[in-house]
Amino acid sequence: MKTQNQRAWIFVLPVLLLVAFNALIPLMTVINYSVQETFGNNQFFWAGLRWFEDILRSERFHAALGRQVLFTITILLIEIPLGVIIALSMPRQGIGVSLCLVLMALPLLIPWNVVGAMWNIFTLPQIGLLGWVMNSLLGISYNMTVSPVAAWITIIVMDVWHWTSLVVLLAYAGLISIPEAYYQAARIDGASNWAVFRYIQLPKMKKVLTIAILLRFMDSFNIYTEPFVLTGGGPGNSTTLLSIDLVKVALGQFDLGPAAAMSLIYFVITLAVSWLFYTLMAKDEQ
């Protein structure tokens, strides 16, 4: 049982101050921008909720949000099952474990713009390995700067390449926490592989998988650097995800008001979905 102790606040205070400095001040700035209009020269005029109304009605925002949701759902549907399958088939002991973990974790530690640049080089039509195999060897026309479908497939494959390992690591961590006795009991009962998975492994992985889904949701919803370096949002606007659109508005056109309003709407969506997850999980634990 934890003790009730208000002095704990002193321990939490440094964290609180540092995070608040980084989170609250910029957030206040964004809120400040979102209700004002500027024509440069540091002159600001009150705009009320106009930007919010504009954005919520704008087709451009709907389109970017639609692409973002499609992207996030697609990569979750691929990465979570794939990560579980790989974790299930990984060795449990011996040299193979270290080897798998080290090699699989590698993509996680590559700077995000390097990931984008790497995939760019990898998929160049005549120079890149993938581009060459597709175009010259298999005769499939594949060029992401021209075809939106190719661009979409490439950013999804890139994300799967980049982040599936995180799901693998988490699922694997859940799996190795299952005592050997559970499996022995299952063998004695003559349980099928599916039954072992469904009634022993899946429940044990539930907690880590929820963390995996939460992390992947938050990070893929905020994804910016990799697709920006890879496709720049093109061809056309076909891979312009929310963050890319946002930066275009904020820094490209310097429309700070609409950009700020857009970020707040965006933040609230992420927050709402994550909060839902968090409460569902917390309820589950009790």
Partner 1 sequence: MKYRRLIPIIYILFLMLPIYWLLAMSFKTTNEILGGFSLFPQRWTFENYYTILTDPTWYWGYINSILYVSLNASISLIVALPAAYAFSRYRFLGDKHLFFWLLTNRMAPVAVFALPFFQLYSAVGLFDTHLAVALAHCLFNIPLAVWILEGFMSSVPKELDETAYVDGYSFPKFFVMIFFPAIKSGIGVAAFFCFMFSWVELLLAKTLTAVEAKPIAATMTRTASSAGYELGLLAAAGILTIIPGAIVIYFVRNYIAKGFALGRV
User: Could you say which residues in the range 154-183 bind partner 1, by CB under 8 A?
Assistant: 161, 164-165, 169-170, 172-174, 176-177
- Across the chain, which distance is largest between two alpha carbons, in Å? 78
Beta-ladder partners of 38: 44
Per-residue CA distances from 229 to 51, 78, 111 (Å): 29, 22, 12
Contact by Cβ (8 Å): 270, 259: no
Cα 71 to Cα 115: distance, rounded to the nearest angstrom? 18
Q: How far apart are CA 239 and CA 262, in angstroms?
A: 18
Q: Does 27 interact with partner 1 (rule: CB under 8 A)?
A: yes
- Rounded to a whole number of angstroms, the minimum distance from the CB of residue 148 to partner 1 is 22
42 part of the interface to partner 1, by CB under 8 A: no
The interface region with partner 1, picked from 24-32, 56-64, 69-77, 180-188 by CB under 8 A, is 24-32
The nearest distance, CB 76 to partner 1, in angstroms, is: 16
The one among 105, 138, 140, 146 contacting partner 1 by CB under 8 A: 105
Among 8, 140, 185, 202, binds partner 1 (CB under 8 A): 8
Which stretch, 45-53, 142-150, 181-189, 210-218, contacts partner 1 (CB under 8 A)?
210-218
Contact positions with partner 1 (CB under 8 A) in 232-271? 242-244, 246-247, 250-251, 256, 263, 266-267, 270-271
286 scored as a contact of partner 1 (CB under 8 A) = no
Strands 44-46 and 36-38 come out as antiparallel
* Range 180-209, binding partner 1 (CB under 8 A): 207-208
**Nearest distance in Å: CB 205, partner 1:** 10
Does 144 bind partner 1 (CB under 8 A)? Our answer is no
- Collapsing DSSP states into helix, strand and coil, what is residue 41? coil
Would you count residue 118 as binding partner 1 (CB under 8 A)?
Answer: yes
Nearest to 162 by CA among 70, 211, 229, 210: 229
Question: Which member of 70, 85, 140, 202 binds partner 1 (CB under 8 A)?
Answer: 85
Give the Cα separation of 274 and 276 in Å (integer): 5
Q: Is 134 in the site for partner 1 (CB under 8 A)?
A: no
Nearest of 178, 11, 168 to residue 90 by alpha carbon: 168
> Can you tell me which residue has the tokens 């905020």?
222
